[in-house]
């Protein structure tokens, strides 16, 4: 630099942001534990992979303000907009298998489904012609049915379980 007179030099500072990406005990993340970005904003793609026996639940921001946000916390592969230092974490839940069986005289809306611990699942029993829905049976502590006498209800899952839809033959009485 050649100076031919009085001048003022002004430093140009770059802002650096650090993004820490972590996972809880049920899985891993694709990123190294920390990434650094220079000024401006960055969009980071993060991917969470559950271990065997787990499902991805959501991303949570552990620290940072409004300038660091996750576009859709429910996606295992998500976009994070970064304009400040922040920390995000992938959360996982235990995976359980729910089986629905149908007794003679009807069907259910699914036969087997894998869901996360604490999930609320819609269950529906449909009686065949000449039958009526009677009740849901089974599940025990691991799956609690909201209304055992309702053909369409919800159940909360806390472990592997099997629930049966019980149907009864309907008789017509003519006089």
Three-state SS string over the chain comes to CCCCCCCCCCCCCCCEEEEEEEECCCEEECCCCEEEEECCCEEEEEEEEECCCEEEEEEEEEECCCCEEECCCCCCEEEEEECCCEEEEEEEEEEEEEEEEECCCEEECCCEEEEECCCEEEEEEEECCCEEEEEEEECCCCEEECCCCCCEEEEEECCCEEEEEEEEECCCCCC
The confidence band for 16, taking pLDDT boundaries of 50, 70 and 90, is confident
Name the token pair of 101. 């069986």
Percentage of the chain exceeding pLDDT 70: 90
In tens, the pLDDT along 124-170 reads 999 999 999 999 999 888 999 999 999 999 999 999 999 999 999 99
How far is the C-alpha of 83 from the C-alpha of 64, rounded, in Å?
A: 10
pTM: 0.75
Determine which of 28-42, 111-125, 151-165 has the lowest per-residue pLDDT on average.
28-42
How far is the C-alpha of 68 from the C-alpha of 19, rounded, in Å?
A: 9
Which pairs with CB-CB distance under 8 Å and at least 24 residues apart come from 63-72? 63/87, 64/88, 67/41, 68/17, 68/19
User: Is residue 58 pLDDT above 80, yes or no?
Assistant: yes
pLDDT of the residue at 14: 63
In the chain the first and final C-alpha atoms are separated, in Å, by: 111
């Amino acid at each position: 630099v050649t100076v031919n007179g009085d001048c003022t030099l002004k430093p140009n500072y770059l802002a650096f942001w650090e993004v820490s990406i972590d996972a809880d005990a049920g899985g891993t993340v694709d990123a190294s534990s920390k990434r650094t970005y220079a000024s401006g904003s960055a969009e980071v793609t993060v991917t969470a992979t559950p271990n065997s026996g787990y499902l991805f639940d959501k991303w949570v921001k552990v620290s940072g303000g409004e300038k660091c946000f996750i576009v859709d916390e429910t996606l295992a592969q998500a976009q994070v907009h970064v304009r400040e230092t922040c920390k995000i974490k992938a959360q996982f839940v235990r995976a359980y298998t729910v089986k629905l069986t149908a007794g003679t005289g009807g069907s259910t809306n699914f036969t087997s489904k894998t869901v996360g611990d604490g999930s609320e699942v819609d269950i529906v029993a449909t009686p065949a012609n000449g039958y009526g829905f009677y009740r849901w049976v089974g599940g025990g502590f691991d799956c609690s049915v909201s209304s055992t006498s309702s053909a369409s209800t919800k159940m909360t899952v806390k472990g592997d379980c099997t629930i049966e839809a019980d149907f009864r033959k309907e008789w017509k009485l003519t006089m």
